[in-house]
Amino acid sequence: MRDTILCLCDLTGIMAEPWVEHGYKAVLVDPQHGLDHADGNMLKLAKTVEEAMPVIQRLIDSRSIAFMAGFPPCTDMAVSGAQWFPRKYEEDHLFQAKAVMVAEQCRTIGRASGAPWMVENPVSVLAGAFGKPDYTFDPYEFTAFEPDDNYTKKPAFGRGGGFKMPAPSMDESLGVPDPNRIWYASGPDRANIRSKTPRGFARAVCEANMRDWTEQLLG
């Protein structure tokens, strides 16, 4: 039974939350979880994708995955951080190769899942390995699902397995989107703030793909 949402390199669980609200289970993989633990219907694994492979493989083999999302760290690949690449290269000549490897792990698992999947693919060095992203969007395009997302960013991602991109659904009463919220984020959690999944987009993706997936199963 495909009753589990798998989210890789995911600290917040925002992408899985609407699915869990509809009765699905979720497995979140990210070393930042600290310790492996259950949080309601979410199992949070404090592991890298590679370390979590025994659990992931069981989900694939049992055909349990209903949806997969991957958010490989983009700070070592995105062109917005290119000014720091020389320093990172001096510290670790393989820093970008390692980042691309994690992204490829996510994409391979998505393909093996047998379910709709998406993997973040920002404007970055990934373009040379993965090609152009399939979709881009701005968080404000889904403010009908979450008014607090009235800001710009332009996340990009690749997809497969029959993933259905939701149509924009905006709350026009909110006015002009904030262009500065993400770009001027600061502090020790800056990277996590910048990479946080927009809640409205997560809800829209769930609505589009859960309905589509259910129709496929019944059809």
- Given a cut of 70, whether residue 42 has pLDDT beyond it is yes
Asked if residue 134 belongs to a domain, the reply is: yes
DSSP per residue, 52-120: THHHHHHHHHTT-EEEEEE----TTTBGGGGGGHHHHHHH-TTHHHHHHHHHHHHHHHHHHHTS-EEEE
Instruction: Give the highest mean pLDDT range of 97-101, 121-125, 159-163, 208-212.
Output: 159-163
Both tokens of residue 210? Answer: 């859960």
Taking the C-alpha atoms of residue 96 and residue 88, their distance in angstroms, rounded to an integer, is 9
- Given a cut of 90, whether residue 206 has pLDDT beyond it is yes
- Mapped onto helix, strand or coil, the DSSP state of residue 171 is coil
Task: Please tell me the total count of domains within the chain.
Answer: 1
Asked if residue 76 belongs to a domain, the reply is: yes
81: confidence class by pLDDT, cuts 50, 70, 90: very low
Residue range(s) defining the domain that contains residue 166: 4-204
**Would you say the pTM of this structure is higher than 0.75?**
yes
For the domain that residue 73 is a member of, what is the CATH number? 3.40.50
